[in-house]
Structure 1
Amino acid sequence: MTSSFTGATGAAPSTAVAARATGLTKVYGEGETKVVALDAVSAEFRQGEFTAIMGPSGSGKSTLMHCVAGLDTITSGSAAIGGTELGPLKDKQLTKLRRDKIGFIFQAFNLLPTLNALENITLPMDIAGRKPDQDWLEKVVKTVGLEGRLTHRPSELSGGQQQRVAVARALAGQPEIIFADEPTGNLDSRSGAEVLGFLRNSVRELGQTIVMVTHDPVAAAYADRVVFLADGRIVDELHGPTAESVLDRMRSLPTGAAAPQRESTRPGSEGTAAPTG
């Protein structure tokens, strides 16, 4: 079965595709331990759009994000960032693509404790030998509300402020797309709402493209559309979501995973364990 949802209806979306999965299948293990994490999934993520990916535990939502972002290998089918197919790329080419075209935000803030907020924000560009666009950097810092915190180290910042630094770091390099995996998972509800607001504003005011994996209907309501996975397939999508409409759709999804639930291997691993998200 091939699942395909390729964009919003109603208001005209951008016609440019920032990322794409086509017939994407991901299999972990062999024989009795074989787990089909993704089953011929096709989806497009358009420029300037905020998409949330949701589904029960074990549905394949994190695996889909990891494969499309080039963090995990694909068993069959294809994935692309812009017009670049990921499959033919060698490791160095993939690393360069992720560095130059993709921003990442994870549940863990992944900040270096010895660097201040500004140094953490510009670190990926420093490593790449690129100078930040100062006008853009100032706009990003203002968008996430960090003007008065740039000289503070992570230990001097709250969890919400640390995640704001991580958001700014993802935005600062002007990536074509940002992938966010449970970005508010370690935050209280107030801090989480602030970070989600910054992500929403980055789409509306900066023209950013965001794909976010989340289990939280309230978080998903910040998106333009929500894509629902179950048993490794896309089974539904929702445009202009509210927390209530997302929760209603989640309640209607299959809850019995066809594959056994196992702990995830790290992205890129070829072990036999299947992802839990």
Structure 2
Amino acid sequence: MRRHTVTTAVANPRTGGSGGSTAVAARARQVVKAYGAGETRVVALDHVDVDIARGAFTAIMGPSGSGKSTLMHCMAGLDSVTSGQVWIGGTELSSLKEKKLTQLRRDKIGFIFQAFNLLPTLNALENITLPMDIAGRKPDREWLDRVVETVGLSGRLKHRPNQLSGGQQQRVAVARALAARPEIIFGDEPTGNLDSRAGAEVLGFLRNSVDELGQTIVMVTHDPVAASYADRVLYLADGRIVDEMQRPTAEAVLDRMKAFDTFGRVS
């Protein structure tokens, strides 16, 4: 069986850099995720190797059932792997007991989901700082102010979710993920519930958080326009990484995706 390895770590292509290699924020080695056993066994991830460069925006794409969400969940410590290893920074996840894994997800990882997951009784600022409040940590006020400004929420902090548009609620979710200064943020179709204008605003804020705040973002998406905001696109098919694209455009991503429809995989 051919195994695909994508391990290139390069300087941020949108912001330049020294030209040397970029540190790796997360990596997977020979990751297999399977469900069931015997004749009913389904392999969702098939010996995946990948590095996620620090300070860059990576999009993960592929047909339905290709394993893209499974890969994100395994790399984020939300799901265990059947075999292989995953690291966040220098920490290997399978070696952690549940308490330590929960602590790592809380302290090192941010999440943005398609559903905003805001508490309706809290205002925007309280929703943003909630994870840190639960952890008993005080937010860095200077950083928090910078995050709020980056996502354009300065005038909405006292509003509750029902007083905000869908795009504004997702901005709150983005700010919540950024506020704790995680090592990496994972987004699962973060603009899937938004119209094109609100989605473009949120994607712009994610892009700015990489360029201006040095954040690392990994986003699963089916949308070529959303993927065009990334520095790099990884393509999955049948549980394997089969291709990647640097400096994507929406047109180039769409053309590449058509290859899946035509040939079942990227040629």
Do they fold alike, i.e. is TM over 0.5? yes
**Paired residues, number:** 258
What is the Cα deviation at residue 15 of structure 1?
Answer: 2.4
Partner of 2:193: 186
Q: 1:19·1:46 contact (CA, 8 Å) conserved in 2? A: yes
Partners of 2:86 and 2:260 lie apart in 1 by: 25
Distance 1:40 1:13, change over 3 A: farther
Partner of 1:55: 62
Partner of 2:229: 222
Distance 1:148 1:169, change over 3 A: same
In structure 1, list runs of 5 or more residues that go unmatched.
259-277
Partners of 1:202 and 1:218 lie apart in 2 by: 18
What is the Cα deviation at residue 257 of structure 1?
Answer: 7.4
Q: 1:117·1:152 contact (CA, 8 Å) conserved in 2? A: yes
Q: Which has the higher contact order (CA 8 A, sep 6+)?
A: 1
In structure 2, list runs of 5 or more residues that go unmatched.
14-18
Q: 2:9·2:53 contact (CA, 8 Å) conserved in 1? A: no
Partner of 1:141: 148
Identity %: 75
What is the Cα deviation at residue 4 of structure 1?
Answer: 1.1
**In the alignment, does 2:109 pair up with 1:113?**
no
Length-normalised TM-score, structure 2? 0.94
Q: Which residues in structure 2 correspond to 1:1-277 (within 5 Å)?
A: 1-7=2-8, 11=13, 12=19, 14-253=21-260
RMSD over aligned CA atoms reads 1.5
CA deviations over 1:211-240 (Å, ceiling 9, x no partner): 000000000000000000000000000000
Partners of 1:195 and 1:6 lie apart in 2 by: 28
Question: Match of 2:3, as an amino acid?
Answer: T
CA deviations over 1:152-189 (Å, ceiling 9, x no partner): 00000000000000000000000000000000000000
What is the Cα deviation at residue 9 of structure 1?
Answer: 5.8
What is the Cα deviation at residue 254 of structure 1?
Answer: 6.2
Length-normalised TM-score, structure 1? 0.90
Question: Match of 1:15, as an amino acid?
Answer: T
Question: Match of 1:83, as an amino acid?
Answer: G
What is the Cα deviation at residue 146 of structure 1?
Answer: 0.2
What is the Cα deviation at residue 7 of structure 1?
Answer: 2.5
